[in-house]
Amino acid sequence: MSKPPFPTAYPATRLRRPRMSDWSRRLVREARLCPDDFIHGMILKDGKGIREPVEHLPGVFRLSPDEAVLEARKAHDLGIPALALFPFTEADKRTADAKEALSSDNLMCRTAKAIKNAVPDIGLICDVALDPYTDHGHDGLLQGGEILNDATVEVLIEQALVQVKAGFDVVAPSDMMDGRVGAIRTALENEGLTNTLILSYAVKYASTFYGPYRGAIGSSGVLQGDKKTYQMDPANAANGLHEVSQDLAEGADWVMVKPGMPYLDMVTRVKDTFNVPTFAFQVSGEYAMISAAAANGALDREAAILESLICFKRAGADGIITYFAMEAAMALN
């Protein structure tokens, strides 16, 4: 007599059984979250002793280099492996050609040197794009209403080299110009900077969720038009895989999807398709929404933070840039 098939229907199979106790839920948990998963996003501002609140981002501050060093020490002590730095640039230092981006004594470079002197074994990631430095708020050079791709790439190469020489371990091109990853990789090799990682913002959408960040770095009031000619259309997915494929072929070590939670499907598609280190950016708009809902009593802040972050891990993200990094690490610790 043949054996009956393995029972898969209720009541022989009760899918609630493993959920009945905390210990059994922990034993079979598929995704896990720890401080190793976080990259702490930090906004910089020139000066000393500055810890300036950022509008719409409660708990986020613009930090002067000395305060950034203190924040880096705290992050390191919490087990956070890396920091992503972004500069607030005053209007008088913004120009059409973004020349401040190429200064070896600019805010990003001085802060990198100070952090590396104080916390040498924390990873430093620099944004490579011109929007914090242009007087029109775009990520590239603007001429006659058009963003110039190839001319912008030449400036991005210089910006990347300046920042790496100041102490950054990872360059993260967020500009979405075609060919910039390959050009930067070639320049790094030519300079003997062969160990520098490239984290490409490969799948970066033209999103409304960047609004609070643009205010944080001083770009929102100067941005002319929109960024739809170079950032991706939110309706597209296959195009994002093409972007990743191209950036990997050009020498990217890691790739990123931005924004995060509205585009978790892309995190999964990228990870499943390429099986390379895949990152996601929980952007300022996501932070602002969770913070506002928690402040209004609609959500439990800590629970919402941790749930949102575990969703990134479940989707396939290896690391997450988030302004919640310190708060989440403290909760997990």
Whichever domain contains 87, its CATH number is 3.20.20.70
**pLDDT, mean of residues 40-52:** 98
| Catalytic residue positions, numbered | 204, 258
- Residue 38 to residue 79: CA distance in whole angstroms: 9
Q: Which neighbouring-strand residues pair with 124?
A: 83
- The pair of three-digit structure tokens given for residue 126, joined into one six-digit string: 């620099």
Q: How many CB atoms lie within 10 A of CB 43?
A: 22
Output 269-274 pairs: Cβ under 8 A, ≥24 positions apart.
Answer: 269/237, 269/240, 269/241, 270/202, 270/203, 270/240, 270/241, 270/244, 270/316, 271/315, 271/316, 271/317, 272/316, 273/241, 273/244, 274/244, 274/245, 274/248
**pLDDT, mean of residues 202-206:** 98
Is residue 45 within 8 A of residue 71, CB to CB? The reply is no
- Residue 181 to residue 248: CA distance in whole angstroms: 9
**pLDDT, mean of residues 160-177:** 98
Percent of the chain with pLDDT over 70: 98
Residue 111 resides in a domain: yes
pLDDT given for residue 255 in this prediction: 98
- Residue 291 to residue 294: CA distance in whole angstroms: 5
Residue 3 resides in a domain: no
Residue 25 resides in a domain: no
pLDDT given for residue 4 in this prediction: 62
Q: What is the pLDDT of residues 254-265, one digit of tens each?
A: 999 999 999 999
Domain boundaries, position 256: 33-332
Residue from 199, 178, 316 nearest 260 by CA: 316
Residue 66 resides in a domain: yes
Residue from 247, 307, 304 nearest 274 by CA: 247
Q: What is the pLDDT of residues 279-331, one digit of tens each?
A: 999 999 999 999 999 999 999 999 999 999 999 999 999 999 999 999 999 99
Q: What is the pLDDT of residues 105-129, one digit of tens each?
A: 999 999 999 999 999 999 999 999 9
**pLDDT, mean of residues 185-208:** 98
Q: List the alpha helices (DSSP H) in 84-169.
A: 107-118, 149-166
Residue 16 resides in a domain: no
Number of domains in the chain: 1
What value does the mean pLDDT of the chain take?
96
Residue from 282, 325, 312, 301 nearest 82 by CA: 325
Residue 38 resides in a domain: yes
Residue 17 resides in a domain: no
pLDDT over 80 at 8, yes or no: no
Q: Model confidence at 1, in pLDDT bands (50, 70, 90)? A: low
Q: What is the pLDDT of residues 14-45, one digit of tens each?
A: 999 999 999 999 999 999 999 999 999 999 99
pLDDT over 90 at 3, yes or no: no
pLDDT given for residue 221 in this prediction: 84
Residue 316 resides in a domain: yes
pLDDT over 80 at 6, yes or no: no
- Residue 323 to residue 287: CA distance in whole angstroms: 7
pLDDT given for residue 298 in this prediction: 98
pLDDT given for residue 220 in this prediction: 80
pLDDT over 60 at 173, yes or no: yes
